[in-house]
Structure 1
Amino acid sequence: MLPTLGLLLACQLIGEVTVRGIGLSIPGPVLGLALLIVILRLRPALAGELRPTISVILANLSLLFVPAGVGVIGNLDVLSEDWFALLIVLVLSTLLAMLASVGTFLAVRRVTEGPAK
């Protein structure tokens, strides 16, 4: 478990340091995830070694949302004042995320299926 967590945290750290050092406009963890994908493509057998630990992390993913819930409760005054603007932003960002997901899925499907028959 420790080597897997070490690899995940090292990828995130490298992503953060790179983003802050170069001044990129993407989040460090996203760059770290891209690095992890590259590592897994170069060493496919590593995925099997990471799978047990990653499964435990994903099974307990809901625990990571507890701090967000506490933050919402701690800022109820902001929510009560600006609820309409927040609702609009929430709906629009959800729609944009869904459209981006569909676009990504279609692009990946087009690339993986090859030319149409």
Structure 2
Amino acid sequence: MINGLLWLLGFQLAGEVVVRSLDLTVPGPVMGMVLLFVVLQLRRPPASANLFRAADGLLKHLQLLFIPAGVGVVTLLHVVGEQPVPIVGALLVSWLAGIVTVGWLTTLLLGRSSGSSGASVGGAR
């Protein structure tokens, strides 16, 4: 499991190095996840790999990562009270963008998979 955690941290570090050296506007950990995704697609390790065990262990405790965000909201609650319209607007726009994106991707992927089989949904033509 330690080996898997070292792989995760190594890719996060690699992402930070790439972002800072190329002066990108993407967060380093996100770039690290992209790099990890590419490596996993190329190598295809078995499901029992230490990397997957470490990731599963972190995902089991994912709720703990929301504690700093909650503390930040409570700490800056006065800002929420001072500017509720932009904050609520940003929340609604981001929520709507997420719903539209998921709907569009679902339609695109389901349309592609049903179109390739030659049958429509429900089996009727």
Aligned-partner residue type, residue 32 of structure 1 = G
The CA distance in 2 between the partners of 1:105 and 1:12, in whole Å, is 30
In structure 1, the residue corresponding to 2:26 is in which secondary structure? Answer: coil
TM-score normalised by length of structure 2 = 0.79
Report the aligned-residue RMSD. 2.1
Change (3 A) 1:41 1:104: same
In structure 2, the residue corresponding to 1:45 is in which secondary structure? Answer: coil
Moved more, 35-44 or 62-71: 35-44
The CA distance in 2 between the partners of 1:21 and 1:115, in whole Å, is 43
Match status 1:81 vs 2:76: no
Q: Which runs of 5+ in 1 are unaligned?
A: none
Aligned-partner residue type, residue 13 of structure 2 = L
Q: Which has the higher contact order (CA 8 A, sep 6+)?
A: 2
| Corresponding pairs, count | 117
- Cα shift at 1:29: 1.8
Match of 2:72 in 1: 71
Identity of aligned residues (%): 37
- Cα shift at 1:100: 2.3
Q: Which runs of 5+ in 2 are unaligned?
A: 119-125
* Structure with the higher helix share, 1 or 2: 1
Matches within 5 A, 1:37-76: 37-49=37-49, 50-76=51-77
